A and B are shown apart, each in its own frame.
Chain A
């Protein structure tokens, strides 16, 4: 009897410890999405392929040469499109979603329409990458690419991809 009572007391003490620790230490929390290795690797691979395409046209490319590049544009746009969908559809931790609706968070996050973009910013940066590649493709097809215009597209692209890759790498914790 006394042995059973001791076990009950131990169990009760353990449960108390769980609740006490949770109250005192709080529990661990998730405020941003989990690390997605496939997304990070996909960004890295698509980035490498995009840099190769920039290298192919960096000395300029007339519109007559566009057909030789059409498949590459399609592959890059398709790859980044898939990555954007993957990033946009991943879950945001429930606690973070609730916090995003508070007035305090809205002061921290400059996005007034949808504060959750500050908890998952990568899709918007990939959208910028897609806008760059699509405009570059249209320019290539209609008037050709001067070297200096390629430089402009590359600068715009590098800023956007740096944002996405930096944050995705930081999520590995």
Chain B
């Protein structure tokens, strides 16, 4: 039968795995997007100063608006990836505890048919 320390060890491993993977995904995404946005900004500035956008106000305004929209959208995507990481971490904890509960209850004689393999989902 599982004891509390075994459950805690499993919880820590599950949390560490999900939070580590989530951080890695967000970190590499932000770094890549940062480079893309910086390149976009440098392109607009350079072309407005001495290049093809110097005399084309309409295209210049389009590219500036596009840069702004991409930057705002990035913040929304980071928030979404953060929500996803929280969801996965929460569910990892729920699954470990549910598994431990099933194991304990099953050993106590509760029919396995009454204990679904996965916890309820809301």
A: which residues have CB within 8 A of B? 10-11, 13-15, 17-18, 20-22, 24-32, 94-96, 108-111, 117-121, 124-125, 128, 131-132, 135, 139, 146, 148-149, 151-152, 155-156, 158-160, 162-163, 166-167, 170-171, 173
User: Separation in Å of the A26 CB from the closest CB of chain B?
Assistant: 5
> Known: A10-B109, A15-B114, A170-B25. Contact between A25 and B97, CB under 8 A?
yes
In terms of DSSP, what is the predominant structure of the interface of chain A?
Answer: helix
B: which residues have CB within 8 A of A? 25, 29, 32-33, 36-37, 39-40, 43-44, 47, 51-53, 59, 62-63, 66-67, 69-70, 72-77, 79-84, 86-88, 90-91, 93-98, 101-102, 105, 108-111, 114-116, 118-122
A148 to B40, CA, bound (A): 12
User: Separation in Å of the A101 CB from the closest CB of chain B?
Assistant: 14
In terms of DSSP, what is the predominant structure of the interface of chain B?
Answer: helix
A96 — which chain B residues lie within 8 A by C-beta? 83
User: Separation in Å of the B107 CB from the closest CB of chain A?
Assistant: 12
> Known: A118-B76, A156-B63. Contact between A28 and B83, CB under 8 A?
no
A88 to B52, CA, bound (A): 36
Using CB atoms, name the residue of chain B closest to A142.
B58
A-B contact pairs, 14 of them (CB 8 A): A10-B114, A14-B105, A17-B101, A21-B97, A21-B98, A21-B102, A29-B121, A31-B87, A95-B122, A121-B77, A125-B77, A128-B69, A152-B59, A156-B66
